[in-house]
Amino acid sequence: MRWSHYYLYTTREVPADAEVPSHRLMLRAGLIRKTAAGIYTYTPFGWRSLAKLKAIVRREIDRAGGLEMSMPMVQPAELWKKSGRWQRYGKELARLEDRHGREFCLGPTHEEVITTMVGRDLSSFRQLPINLYQIQTKFRDEIRPRFGLMRGREFLMKDAYSFHTTAECLDTTYQAMAAAYRKIFEACHLDYTMVEADTGAIGGSDSHEFMVLAQTGESEVVHNATDGYAANVEKAEIGALRAPAQEEAVDRREVATPGASTVKEVAELLGVDVLKVVKTLLYQTDQGVVAVVMRGDREVNEVKLQNLLDAEFVAMANEAAVREATGAPVGFAGPIGLAEGVRLIADESVRPLTNFVCGANKDDAHFTGVNWGRDAEPDQWADLLLAAAGDPSPLGGGELVSSRGIEVGHIFKLGTKYSEAMGCDFHSEGGGKEPMIMGCYGLGIGRTVAAAIEQNHDEDGIIWPIPLAPFQLLLLSLNAKDEAVTAAAEALYGQFQEAGIDVLFDDRKERPGVKFKDADLIGIPIRVVVGAKSLAEGQVEMSLRRTREREMVAKEGVLARVRELLAAPA
């Protein structure tokens, strides 16, 4: 491709709203343009990179037995009402009406559509298992889109759905898809990790996420290198915490704690360790108001809470609700004397505490010397602790380490949640009718490309991994008016094209400085520079974007050298 005839416009300045490197560089390098908040246009240049990733994804999913298809982006409300998600999905589901007033939504995912289709077409165990996938534009009306393609509202995603007669069969496909994902991310040369995950709004049992490790990632993951445990922090289990020393029970006393509404303030005021202070958090849920007692220095994992309650939503109670439940302003809640009907759940971390401090459900007052059994008893004990770096791994390998990741893939065992709702049954060998057992497998296309940039860039621009680079090679001709240079560059361009190499030929009438800056910015892995001085000696300069190592190569030997570099592991 000749740059002079191509659609590739770089910018020196950045729109001020780009905060993370991938977003900034994708705009500057002319890969994407913003059309609306969280909605982007992919330029021809950017689209090439996405196309490369799509090809890798297709290759691996096809090998894993997937069959490519395509489903509509606009879906009838009827299907979503049938699965119950029309109500449950919330405002993220973009809804619209057609001219007749019929309700539709923009598909954020496609369980309803695929399950309905498979349910109609397949009816026998003999037709199973089957694994269908598509690469398609999704729409989720995110509350706050940000970071360019990392969290857009409209985005490209590969989603696959598998249908089975048995859990074992589902597991086989699940493992095969996990293996395919590994191959995909390895083929992209990404530093990633697979972690246990919560199933969220999609539902189901087993679930794993594929995280590309990056500081700018929106998810926190914890892992332990010794025992191999790795999980999204939302899901993470924790080994036994060190138990505090047991004390002889003392009398419970109410003490004045004016203005001390945080654990830290209370601990300081009373001169005790924060570990001695418990906090009681009030949540509003569709199951009613819930009070959670948590160790003073730790956070509640709201996902664990939601799963425990089997709740549709869980949110911190507002001030009015807190007052109603505790009779006190925020900051003085405790497990003793809560309003009627408030469910009290205590985290396991506070179980071994003796003579602890908690709010007195009274303005400016706390209790000291509180003991379980004698003074209070929760309706339920549970693990609601949000894992943190330094916690013991549940597998016993020592401390958990925390890192940040970009969620690029998420696979689920759905079970029969959708097949039952949508009536997707099969006749079993025994003649009975059973719901199909399903799995689903998502992979963010744009997000993966953004993650690749997040992991591969420097201060000058993108450093594409060869498999995702829009072009493999950038041929750069310096002196446009020098006939010998032009002729040599044209000859090389012809050779590269003939050899089937993805080449971008910078034949623009620009100064060398501009071309070099652009070359660094757009990050094509291999660069070949034809300039007057070296050409006089029959040589051209070759270099790699990643290492910046330069070498002079006789112009006759360039093609062979390029082939060598492309074959080498990146």
| Interface with RNA, residue 531, by CB under 7 A | yes
Q: What is the DSSP string of 161-194?
A: EEEESSHHHHHHHHHHHHHHHHHHHHHTT--EEE
Angle at 408 between CA 451 and CA 166, to 5 degrees: 165
Specify the stretch interacting with RNA by CB under 7 A; choose among 9-17, 221-229, 344-352, 557-565: 9-17
| Interface with RNA, residue 533, by CB under 7 A | yes
Task: Give 126: exposed, middle or buried? Use CB within 10 Å, 0-12, 13-18, 19+.
Answer: exposed
Report the alpha-carbon distance of residue 130 to residue 276 in Å, rounded: 55
| Residues 6+ positions from 549 with CB-CB distance below 8 Å | 543
186, 60 in Cβ contact below 8 A? no
The CB-of-539 to RNA minimum distance in angstroms stands at 8
| Interface with RNA, residue 521, by CB under 7 A | yes
Among 532, 538, 557, 564, binds RNA (CB under 7 A): 532
Specify the stretch interacting with RNA by CB under 7 A; choose among 28-36, 75-83, 385-393, 431-439: 28-36
504, 30 in Cβ contact below 8 A? no
> Hey, what are 174's tokens?
């699940």
| Interface with RNA, residue 512, by CB under 7 A | yes
The CB-of-58 to RNA minimum distance in angstroms stands at 16
Among 248, 259, 481, 568, binds RNA (CB under 7 A): 481
Helix (H, G, I), strand (E, B) or coil at 110: coil
Specify the stretch interacting with RNA by CB under 7 A; choose among 170-178, 252-260, 365-373, 508-516: 508-516
Taken as a whole, the chain contains a residue count of: 570
Fill in the DSSP letter of residue 265: H
Q: Please, which residue, 10 or 486, has the CB nearer to RNA?
A: 10
How many residues at the interface with RNA, by CB under 7 A? 68
Among 38, 46, 66, 217, binds RNA (CB under 7 A): 38
Q: Please, which residue, 52 or 110, has the CB nearer to RNA?
A: 110
| Interface with RNA, residue 31, by CB under 7 A | no
Report the alpha-carbon distance of residue 262 to residue 354 in Å, rounded: 20
| Residues 6+ positions from 340 with CB-CB distance below 8 Å | none
| Interface with RNA, residue 52, by CB under 7 A | no
| Interface with RNA, residue 103, by CB under 7 A | no
Specify the stretch interacting with RNA by CB under 7 A; choose among 127-135, 261-269, 334-342, 533-541: 533-541
Helical (H) or strand (E) element with 254: strand 253-256
| Interface with RNA, residue 157, by CB under 7 A | yes
Q: Which residues bind RNA (CB under 7 A)?
A: 10-17, 19, 28, 34, 36-38, 90, 92, 108-109, 138, 140, 142-147, 151, 155, 157, 159, 198-202, 218, 302-303, 314-316, 407, 410, 412, 442-444, 460, 478-479, 481, 511-514, 516-521, 529, 531-534, 541, 550
